[in-house]
Chains A and B, each alone.
Chain A
């Protein structure tokens, strides 16, 4: 972990949707330590500001891949970077999706919107040692078909069950329509032997966790990724505090047993 950003250059970029871009970054000199799935970097758009962004694919250990949705000044500046552009990067920060603890279990990977980005390296890791796990289910929700991320990769993830659903169908969409929890009925898993990894807007994660608990999945086996504004990312400034947790250090990935009482309190 470094406190001052290292310089990285954009070596590849891909427009995923109208507002979301994937950037591949290469260090100008020294590289940061390798990231684990679920961890995040602080990306600094020069002259604009710095924001937390998860790794969306683990590469060769030197390169970094991030998928950024343009929602405000900094994320828009990052999405606007072209090949050859420069970014300051700090990290790796935060807790990871713990795949080792999930060995032998059925897996539910449940994403809403941009939440699929932090989950993609987890799916990659699981597919790389598929025999270590039970059944893999990947469920994703998006606003419209045009907002679906990584659509071309999805078919490879759909074993034994993978499905995407949208809130608003359009233009000849023949897939599923409705919230992501509606796909749970068809997923293949034994609740008592399942670990779920959930990432998306907080309301979506709460609804998903409740549905899973109702079906018999233990709260501590439901791992969620929580987001709060971050500044130092090193556990010093208190910006990312949620109750007793500093999410840059104790999160973003936490068990729902820990998250639930904190998420239902209005302002802490």
Chain B
């Protein structure tokens, strides 16, 4: 059993992959450091990269007329940042900004796509990992829709 945070090496997100697959994928990783308040990507831009956060926090936000940038969710160490690179239209649906200094592994999406085409078993494992993460985030979003901590009687109409 590992000691947490599993993501402290940046590879934690990929622990479900075999050592060989993880090695191939991590060979494409580039270490990046970003200061607090850095805009990582903007809504509508081409999603050509993704990141595994090693330390620090990133806020996902959306611009709303009259309200400015509204933070939808924050993502911390050991988490995957970005999945829009995986499927068309490969555009970011949200924007991302660092909350504090962030260290991350950055992956070039085109290089990862090429690797997956070359090694389809790796490709399937990676898609499974990302699908599991998307499932987790969807469940979390549904839980928030329930407005669990709201006053009695609040939340969605059954």
Contacts and interface: CB of A to CB of B under 8 A. Distances in A.
A261 interface: no
A19 B146 contact: no
A185 B6 contact: yes
Given A19-B151, A72-B152, A176-B57, A167 B4 contact: no
Range class of the B interface residue count: 20 to 34
Contacts of A200: 148-149
Interface stretch (B27-35, B66-74, B115-123): B66-74
Interface string A10-23: 00000000010000
Interface string A106-129: 000000111000000000000000
A233 B143 CA distance: 31
Nearest to B1: A192
Range class of the A interface residue count: 35 or more
Nearest to A191: B1
A165 B12 CA distance: 22
Interface stretch (A24-32, A85-93, A141-149): A141-149
Give the secondary structure class of B's interface.
loop
Contacts of B79: 182, 185
A163 to B, nearest CB: 8
B59 interface: yes
20 contacts: A71-B151, A113-B148, A143-B150, A147-B149, A167-B144, A167-B147, A174-B99, A177-B73, A177-B74, A179-B143, A182-B76, A182-B140, A185-B76, A188-B5, A190-B2, A190-B3, A191-B4, A203-B143, A204-B143, A204-B148
Q: Give the top 9 A-B pairs by smallest Cβ distance, nearest first.
A: A113-B149, A143-B149, A201-B148, A185-B78, A192-B1, A179-B140, A178-B73, A176-B74, A177-B74
